[in-house]
Amino acid sequence: MDKHIIFTNGRSGSNYILSLLNSHPSVVNFGEVLGKWTLSYKLHTRFGLGGKSIREYLDNIYKSPFFFYMAELYSAYSHIKKRKKICFKHRSNISSIGIKEFSLNFKRLDLHDYLTDNNDILVVNLYRENQLKRLVSLEIMKQSGVVFVDKKRKKVGRPKHLKINKCTLDTIHIVEQLTIYQNELNDQISLAKSIPSQRVLNIKFEDLFESEQKKTDYTVKLFKFLKVEPLQIKSSHHKILSNNLPDIIANYDEIHAILRKTRFAHFLDS
């Protein structure tokens, strides 16, 4: 069984890729496993689930049939609660198994060499270049509670009704915030570059969501990269924010005046 990881940072399209992979009958991706809020990580830190060290924990997620079926049961329970169709998978039918994780968690837990040392893990390096739009996406998520939109269910991640308003960005800390985000991206790209290129598939958010054809093209590349059957599958998640920043930033003129003379000026036009 092959292994993979969606290596990314927040608000970069990872829920779309996660949904796409888990729609394939031969692929399972457990999602985030290093976030402090995740059940598996809580069980690891409190009770040693998966081993004493964080590396043993990750190894067990990839290798353990027990973890696999516990995750499938938990997924089935979540689907029942949300009145969604259950799709229970058997480990013997899986060709590629993986996780989705943020680069910043690898840095926080000193896991820089985990992906370079484990040469059997294929890395889907998913990144977003425009850090201003990434920041806006995060602010709108905080404001509305919308994590993603599911076209099949015609509902969103949290609220019952979808209403996306413009967000107001912090003019005092905007440059500091973008600097933090840019550093996160630089760390992600740097770590991905340290991995042999044949084990990495780079996907830029802006390219992925450029058009429906690009989504189809990247789906083909993704399944080919993971060495599974290239089925015609579409993710039920889709992008909901406008690409036009004045449409989604309430104080756009103020933000434009601040950023136009900084190294982040190009984010205003892309």
Q: In sequence order, what are the residues at sequence separation of 6 or more whose Cβ sits closer than 8 angstroms to the Cβ of residue 196?
A: 119
- DSSP letters spanning 150-208: ETTTTEESS-SS-----B---TTTHHHHHHHHHHHHHHHHHHHHTS-GGGEEEEEHHHH
pLDDT digits (tens, 9 = 90+) for 172-199: 999 999 999 999 999 999 999 999 999 9
Per residue in 36-95, pLDDT (tens digit) is 999 999 999 999 999 999 999 999 999 999 999 999 998 888 888 888 888 899 999 999
* 96-131 pLDDT, tens digit each: 999 999 999 999 999 989 999 999 999 999 999 999
Alpha carbon distance 104, 215 (integer Å) = 26
Tokens representing 64 are 């353990």
Which structural domain range is residue 102 located in?
2-268
CATH number, position 228: 3.40.50
Residue 36 has what pLDDT?
A: 95
Q: How many domains does the chain have?
A: 1
Tens digit of each residue's pLDDT (9 = 90 or more) over 227-250 = 999 998 887 776 667 789 999 999
CB atoms within 10 A of CB 30: 22
Q: Please check the confidence at residue 162 and state whether its pLDDT lies above 60.
A: no
Q: Note the Cα 167 to chain centre separation in Å.
A: 22
- In the numeric block, the tokens 């994590």 are attached to 147
